[in-house]
Amino acid sequence: MTRNVRRWRLPAAVTTLTLAVATTLLVGVMPSAASEQNAQGSTDDATSVTVPLTLVGYDSEIAARNGFRIVTDPDGRQRSIPVTAAARRAMAEHAISSPVTGQSPGTLGTVIGDCGTATLDATALGSRRSTIVTGFTVKVPAYSFRWSIAVTDPGGSFTKTWGPAALASRTSWAASYTWTAGARGSAFGQVRTGFYISYAALINGGWCTAGPASDAWRIT
């Protein structure tokens, strides 16, 4: 069975993003008997934790590739404007307008702009096995993404990362991860947060990051 848990490495810098935020890295040991599959949704009665995805800036190169242009208003707020017919159709199909950031250029602060939601659902399966289903939905079709979770269980700690990868204008993505812990007891999992850690890059250049969706459960 192939193990696919790996330590996080910073991807190539995105040179035209509006903002930068600090990232927190959680690394540890691999679990045993890990397996991965595409998520089809949880089939149990466990609670799914949902948090917002927040617009934190724009990537003008991604915007330009998809027929958008990033403009800055006199008050310092930025917007993504559809320029090509294809870009205008994409926005019209989803019946939305481009969200606006709440920063002046070169500053950090509060951001307004809701991109969508992120979810995480952890479930004990018995025999020391657990599974996590995680993913996101976005209001503007996604161009690419990277997603990472961190887990601490009685056997240790580990991270699991998907991407970076293209999303071909999809508005949702989900995956699951199943493993066997070294012992029974309390466990905790969360979506790792940070500018380059867990994000969805939208076709209009919007850069959306996840809040810390988390779940606690008992491994049996």
List, for residues 156-166, the tens digit of each pLDDT value.
999 999 999 99
Across the chain, which distance is largest between two alpha carbons, in Å? Answer: 60
Least confident segment among 11-15, 157-161, 171-175, 183-187: 11-15
Instruction: Report the half-sphere exposure of 111 (CA within 13 A, side-chain side).
Output: 26
Three-class DSSP category at 90: helix
Separation of alpha carbons 195 and 149, rounded Å: 14
Separation of alpha carbons 113 and 53, rounded Å: 9
Average pLDDT over residues 10-36: 36
Q: Which two tokens stand for residue 42?
A: 């949880």
Closest C-alpha among 117, 118, 116, 182 to residue 151:
182
Whether pLDDT at 42 is above 80:
no
Q: Is the pTM of this model over 0.85?
A: no
Whether pLDDT at 2 is above 80:
no
CA distance readout (Å), 202 to 66, 114, 137: 10, 12, 11
Q: Would you kindly state where each structural domain of the chain is located, as residue ranges?
A: 16-37+48-220
Q: Which two tokens stand for residue 19?
A: 């903002």
